[in-house]
Amino acid sequence: MKRIRYTKFTGDLSSSFGLEDLMQALSDFLLDSGFDDPYSRFQEFNDQTLENLRDAIKQALESGEVFDEEAQEKYDALSEDQVEELIDQIIQKMQEQNFINAELPEEGQGERGNGNGEARFEVTDKGMDFLGYKALRELLGPLGKSNFGRHDTRHEAAGVEINGSSKLYEFGDTLNLDVTATFSSVFEREGIRTAVEGEEHTPLNIEYSDLHVHQSDYQSSCATVVLLDCSHSMILYGEDRFTPAKRVAMALSHLIRTQFPGDTLNLVLFHDTAEEIPVSQLSRVKVGPHYTNTREGLRLAQRILAKQNKDMKQIVMITDGKPSALTLPDGRIYKNAFGLDPLVIEETLEEVSRCKRSNIMINTFMLANDFTLMQFVQKVSAMCRGKAYFTTPQTLGNYLLMDFMSRRMKTIH
């Protein structure tokens, strides 16, 4: 059923719609990856400047996705100056509600030092969280899912959410006392007279060994590192693979933060080298003229996971190309984009072996269907007890999130 948002109308068109609807309409612009899509209405706005934001808002308002029919008619009747004033009000509200931060250039700052620097903006953590929430709804909508629990296992532990059984209290357990089992232990030890006449004739002598606590299903925690390929091939061959991958990373971050609060998620970009970035900076990331240094990404992911004290550790790697670069011991980067280079493959698989020895699972989502590359990915998955999915940008989110949730519902031994 379509959801309708009602707001108080004050005669101001900027208050006749929710900023959440506008953020959703601008999501392709805010998450631009550098892909030259001739069919995108935001094709010309490839930089996060305030001027481009104004133009993108104007196109969104004209598209009919934001206003209702009555408000759209009023908007169409506005003069050019009134439209510019309306856009100014919208940008001001986006800043006041903490969806974006504007950055004004300093005096004399700008390209080539000409003093004509452009005002820029960045999407805030709140804005990124909202886009992640929307991406999660879109990705999970076709799956028919509603709520997700935490990560169930076959083990039991003392807790608040009981499963009907109890155990003797041990130091460190949650003191969720099972009163019935505790008193039964007392009566069994002291006899039936205490059970019948205890309050009138003798005090109940509860000892440490009588204490019983309720048991709940033990729920494990997981540390996840998303390895995101931002090499040049992610936007080549007439297809944007990077923007869907960014949406999935944002959705996964929102899912973990809201449904699995004990978990951690880190984001690593790998290209000629590898670097960790906060999820809040993901909207700014674009693909560059880079090779694919998978080994360096795995090395950085291992260093991050080594600091995490979690029951489960996993790497989720999203890529579309074969390893084509390698960081040499002297710091130089060896590159070979032609075929599967034996040196690059050998060193990459050695890094996979280190992940296996550290009990780190690698799940790979491959956005390509080259036969030799598929064999390489299958070998990586077999070495680390992970899974390999050969998918497309359109179905990437469904496959990734389905695997994340189904695997997490099982015990990892």
Domain limits of the chain?
Answer: 13-35+47-104+119-123, 166-193+204-214, 222-409
Alpha-carbon distance values, 226 to 302, 365, 396 (Å): 12, 11, 14
Contacts 24+ apart (CB under 8 A), 88-96: 89/12, 89/14, 90/14, 90/19, 90/22, 90/57, 91/50, 91/53, 91/54, 91/57, 93/14, 93/19, 94/19, 94/22
Q: What is the token pair recorded at 96?
A: 């006041």
Look at residue 225 in the predicted model and tell me its pLDDT.
Answer: 93
What percent of the chain is predicted at pLDDT more than 70? 72
Question: Distance between CA 227 and CA 240 in Å, rounded?
Answer: 18
Q: Please tell me the predicted confidence (pLDDT) of residue 305.
A: 94
Alpha helix (H) residue ranges in 191-293: 192-201, 242-259
Per-residue pLDDT, 295: 94
**Per-residue pLDDT tens over the stretch 141-197:** 544 443 334 444 444 444 434 445 777 888 777 777 888 888 888 878 777 665 555
Model confidence at 411, pLDDT cuts 50, 70, 90, reads very low
pLDDT in tens, 240-258: 778 888 888 888 888 877 7
Mean pLDDT throughout 287-313? 90
Amino acid (1-letter code) at residue 210: D
Q: Please answer whether residues 276 and 267 qualify as being in contact, where contact means their C-beta atoms are separated by less than 8 angstroms.
A: yes
At 227, the pLDDT band (50, 70, 90 cuts) reads very high
Contact 388, 316 (CB under 8 A): no
Which tens digit of pLDDT belongs to each residue from 93-128?
888 888 888 776 554 433 333 444 578 788 887 787
Cβ neighbours around 230 below 10 Å, total: 23
* Single pTM value for the model: 0.59
Q: Which residue has the higher pLDDT, 272 or 136?
A: 272
What CATH fold (topology level) applies to the domain 222-409?
Rossmann fold (3.40.50)
DSSP one-letter code for 21: H
